[in-house]
A and B are shown apart, each in its own frame.
Chain A
Amino acid sequence: MGDWGIKVTKTGKGVTSTDLRDLLMHSNYSMFKYHLDTTTSMTINAGDTSKTVTVAHGLGYVPAFIAYFNDGSYNSLLPQRRSFYTGEDEHIFATADATNIYIKWRSIVPYLRSTYDCDDAYSNILGRNYTAVGNSNGTGLDCANRFVGIAVTGSETITSATLDFYVSSKGASGSNTKLKTHGFDEDNTGDFGSYPLGRTLTSAYTSQEQNPSSTPFSFGINVLSILNEIRQRSGWSSGNAMGFMSVNNGSPNNAFLADYTSSTLVIQKAGSLTYNFRILVFKDKIA
């Protein structure tokens, strides 16, 4: 019995060729069979860390598929893992089950959110590289945190700005610490090599009362109005440094919160991003 079947070779290639790359079709081997060719899009909003879009394939089993995405500049085969020296790390990938194809986006960093580590700190009692606010044995504790490379312009929309004040030690009283926070009203506040607590302060400020949780912990200081006042100075430029001064605001005796330079400044901008995708689904069954 002969070896029956059908073979189609590329132009210029013989049907007796043993190089499989010369073939367009060979009845001994299957080919992916087209089922669906479609497009979809995904809009990522500020603050998002995950997003999924779903495309129904209607096959009732898990099919083979491939997917591409377009970020506005390039077409790339999924999955894509994109990380940047600035800390962003996003992953775009595709999955399938018996009903749908899923395009998923995941990001370590919430979209349009930036976190800045404290660059410098100063305490009126402990000196440089320390933070302490409140009341220690009747002495008022004031401190400052400095952050550099703040990538905000004077005009873009900022939806939140929080100074996450890190606390590794606290007063023994167990009472709440009362504090008031201003910014340094400067275009590009310098480091704390010299005493910084006499610098001009913003008119914007935040007052709050913080209970002493178990250490270590962080609490948030809403510095949005302070940040806005600084970034809207005529001399402000994106990438400059900002400083925030927190002062005792009537804390009871031995109610204080302290640390070194572990606080962070978290800024959330407004905006959205749209990715477009193309999905090719084949009738070939995976599972």
Chain B
Amino acid sequence: MADWGIKVSKPTKSITSSNPGDYVFNSKFGSAIVYKDAEVSVTINASSSTKSTVNYYYPDGSTPLTFDYYPVVLIFAELVPGSGEWYLSPFSLYEDIDTFVSAGTYSTPFYSSVEKSKFFITFYNRTGSQITIKYHYYIFANLG
């Protein structure tokens, strides 16, 4: 039986290459499908923390979904509102950025988790003013 499949190589790379890195897609290798991605705004009061929870839904957007595995979730957050600089999760910072928002500190438990029906992340605002930050998440459907 022939070795059937579908392959798409990168520009200038051969379709017969044995290097997985030369492919945009190759049905012989796994891939990361993005089930859902979205941006979330979180408002955190001064000197307090806020837990942000994202539930999973079927593509209809309204029917709750529970995977029978723990999906991989990737999060980027603009920890300083309006800075344009986005931090790759997880966050456990002790530098100046902690003056504004931290999703956990050296002495404070990092209260974030991925579950089969939702994920949540807790942000800590150590400033004296209420702030609103944004984070962008990716839920990978076939990793977990």
Contacts and interface: CB of A to CB of B under 8 A. Distances in A.
Contacts of B32: 31-32
A197 interface: no
Contacts, number: 115
Interface stretch (B22-30, B47-55, B112-120): B22-30
A33 B23 CA distance: 11
Contacts of A284: 34, 37, 138
Contacts of A30: 33-34, 37
Given A21-B142, A34-B24, A98-B84, A29 B136 contact: no
A28 interface: yes
Given A37-B21, A89-B106, A91-B95, A96 B30 contact: no
Q: How large is the interface on A (under 10, 10 to 19, 20 to 34, 35 or more residues)?
A: 35 or more
B33 A62 contact: no
B141 A96 contact: no
B77 to A, nearest CB: 10
Contacts of A102: 85
A81 B24 contact: no
Interface in B1-57: 6, 10, 21, 24-25, 27-35, 37, 39
Interface of B: 6, 10, 21, 24-25, 27-35, 37, 39, 59, 67, 69, 74, 76, 78, 83-95, 106, 134, 136, 138, 141-144
A180 interface: no
Contacts of A70: none
Contacts of A94: 87-88
A106 B94 contact: yes
B111 to A, nearest CB: 16
A26 interface: yes
Interface of A: 8, 10-11, 20-26, 28-34, 37, 50, 62, 64-67, 78-79, 81, 83, 89, 91, 93-98, 102, 106, 108, 284, 286-287
A83 B88 contact: no
A93 B106 contact: no
A67 B92 CA distance: 16
The 3 closest A-B pairs by CB, nearest first: A20-B141, A286-B136, A21-B142
Contacts of B92: 79, 81, 91
Contacts of B93: 91, 93, 106
Nearest to A106: B95
Contacts of A8: 6, 25, 27
Nearest to B33: A29
A33 B10 CA distance: 11
B2 to A, nearest CB: 13
Contacts of A108: 94
Contacts of A98: 84
A61 to B, nearest CB: 10
A286 B141 CA distance: 18
Contact of B27 (A24, A34, A37, A83): A24
A34 B29 CA distance: 15
B84 A78 contact: no
